[in-house]
Amino acid sequence: MRRVLPVVCAVVLVATACSTTQKEPTVPQTTDSHSDQATNKAESIADLVAEADLIVRGTVTKAAPAIDDNDASTFEAQSATIAVDKVLKGDARPGNLEISKPDSAYYLTSEADPDGPARGRFAGTFVLKTESGTPTLFGYVGVHDDAYAPQAFARVLAHLPERRPAATTKQLSAWAKDADLIVYGSAFGDADHVTDRTPRLNLSDHASIEPIEVLKGDLGSNIDVAQGPQPSEPGGTWSFPIGKDDFLVGVYFIDTSGATPTVINTATPVGVNRRRVEKLL
């Protein structure tokens, strides 16, 4: 029997409304404090991958000149040193790499400040061209530092669509049948179970789900869950974001038969339409 939790809903739906700035439904929905002001949402990662000579993941260790006015509309050219952790495309090795940045809508900094302006880039996926001799950032974003970037680049480099496909009706029907609980709610990742770290967001495979609406089963308060087995594919599937202001709002199909309730979704909960699920019950 479907049950709406009115008090929780009134609080969480406000947070949900603040979370619609996220450009891709397969990543955590977060509040506006983490929105990327320098992102051109029309910029295709597939196009960037095709044009780039070099794509690496790393962290800025030095940038010059330093940028003091982080409210400017355009930031001057900079040179920088990055510590490369992983080479995704091109001829480079892990270690220090000297790069340049042209005038742009973002700036490079070695100061990690997750609460600072989103236009300051200190780590992430660096997209570069090498035709001038010095690897040079290009594209409107240049350094992709949100939680979606690693998945998107991994998929495109593996010749897959940038975005994961939505759950099919057959999948939803199977999950609805197998689940003891189906909850539309907000999931807050458990910091004791970190599975991945990105410049702005850490991710987990455990979470506490705050219900907004119970579609199947009985649940009166928050429930602690673990993510169930996921298919092995480039970039992975989805994870729970960690942080009091970071949460994943969606539909969770939960198996309660084990010691720890398990979310059996393999498609992101954000991409599941709860009204579509209701029609299957």
pTM recorded for the entire structure:
0.79
Which neighbouring-strand residues pair with 56?
Answer: 87, 126
Q: What is the pLDDT of residue 3?
A: 54
Q: What is the pLDDT of residue 5?
A: 52
Q: Where are the alpha helices (DSSP H) in 158-226?
A: 169-178
Query: Distance between the two ends of the chain, CA-based, in angstroms?
Result: 9
Name residues of the chain where pLDDT drops below 50. Answer: 1, 6-38
Q: What is the pLDDT of residue 276?
A: 93
Q: What is the pLDDT of residue 246?
A: 80
Q: What is the pLDDT of residue 2?
A: 54
What's the full length of the chain, in residues?
281
Q: What is the pLDDT of residue 19?
A: 34
Q: What is the pLDDT of residue 27?
A: 41
Using an 8 Å Cβ cutoff, are 223 and 184 in contact? no
Using an 8 Å Cβ cutoff, are 115 and 75 in contact? no
Domains for the chain: give ranges and CATH numbers.
3-30+166-278 (2.40.50), 37-145 (2.40.50)
Q: What is the pLDDT of residue 89?
A: 97
Using an 8 Å Cβ cutoff, are 186 and 247 in contact? yes
Which residues have a Cβ under 8 Å from the Cβ of 9 and sit 6 or more positions away?
A: 212, 213
- Quote the CA–CA distance of 141 and 119 in Å, as a whole number: 9
